[in-house]
Structure 1
Amino acid sequence: MSHQITTPEAYILQAPEARQEALAKLRNTINKHLPPGFKEGIQYGMIAYYVPHNLYPNGYHCNPKEPLPFISFASQKNSINLYHSGLYAIPELYEWFVLSYPKYCKHKLDMGKSCIRFKKYTEIPFDLLGALVGKITVNEWITCYESHLKK
């Protein structure tokens, strides 16, 4: 991925043409369902949604100059990947997602702890992802994040 990409629009335009529609629809789905307070931008070379410093001045513990990450997505070599930090941090959310997935998609779930891989990017379950995105507010994410830092 080019380090010169600074906007979500530019990120989508540089992706393979066959994926641009899916990436744009994923972006629109996230923006439609994301609770207020999160900010959209480019973080770690991906389209990202994070808690801005004006809401969480401490930033990300790995690099406090970076705002606190929440969700990001990327066009990778073989898939479109969505990274949702809440899936990693909140076991109940992970369980809800895994149990809900078959209701929205006929393909086997390809997932790590926070990464969901969509190899068939024409069959991304946008309705399920919209529901997932809306489940955690900014304040809930900050509280969750801080509770894990103290462990």
Structure 2
Amino acid sequence: MTSAATTPEQYLTELPDDRREAVTQLHATILKHLPKGFETIMNYGMIGYVVPHSIYPDGYHCDKKLPLPFAGLASQKASVNFYHMGIYATPALLEWFVQEYPKHSTAKLDMGKSCIRFKKPEHIPHALIAELMQKMTVQQWIDTYEANYKR
């Protein structure tokens, strides 16, 4: 479910009542702990947390006009989804997250390569997401991206 919203605020406002509070709270958690330099935009029909062209002029290798994506937040049909590219690109960070998750949520971890799905708002581990967001600076993400993806 992608959105045509042009701002994160519009995206949040347009969410169904049963999702608005959960996504808004998770967005607030992310923003509070987002390292300096990342920007929040609408990206791929969801809220995106990106490295802007002013810091990384090369942009995203898939489409150089787009800023380098780092994380994303979306309300999908059956879940609230949080995407974190650092988990996908850094095995040690993924291992840390998987080990820490049960300490913060009673729900089984439902995860793809970079996507963490939360089917119930009460299962969103805000403290863990806050800690995860602080584990990678803009420069660390650029270095990781260039080492793994830039061709």
TM-score by length of 1: 0.96
Quick check: 1:86 aligned with 2:91? Answer: no
Q: Per-residue displacement from partner, 1:65-92 (whole Å, max 9, x unpaired)?
A: 0000000010000000001000100000
- The alignment partner of 2:97 has SS state of helix
Alignment coverage as a number of residue pairs: 150
2:29 and 2:61 mapped to 1: Cα distance?
A: 28
- The alignment partner of 2:70 has SS state of strand
Contact 2:3–2:46 at 8 Å: present in 1 too? Answer: no
User: Residue in 1 aligned with 2:76?
Assistant: 76
Q: Per-residue displacement from partner, 1:99-135 (whole Å, max 9, x unpaired)?
A: 0000000110000111000001232100000000110
Q: Given residue 8 of structure 1, which amino acid in structure 2 is its aligned partner?
A: P
Q: CA deviation at 1:150?
A: 5.3
Q: Per-residue displacement from partner, 1:21-77 (whole Å, max 9, x unpaired)?
A: 111111110111011000001000000100000000000000000000000010000
Quick check: 1:111 aligned with 2:111? Answer: yes
User: Residue in 2 aligned with 1:21?
Assistant: 21
Q: CA deviation at 1:149?
A: 2.7
Contact 2:12–2:24 at 8 Å: present in 1 too? Answer: yes
2:61 and 2:132 mapped to 1: Cα distance?
A: 24
1:150 and 1:15 mapped to 2: Cα distance?
A: 35
Q: Indicate the larger mover: 93-102 or 141-150.
A: 141-150
What percent of counterpart residues are identical?
55
Give the gaps of 5 or more residues in structure 2.
none
RMSD, aligned α-carbons: 1.0
Quick check: 1:58 aligned with 2:76? Answer: no
User: Residue in 1 aligned with 2:133?
Assistant: 133
Q: Given residue 84 of structure 2, which amino acid in structure 1 is its aligned partner?
A: H
1:54 and 1:42 mapped to 2: Cα distance?
A: 17
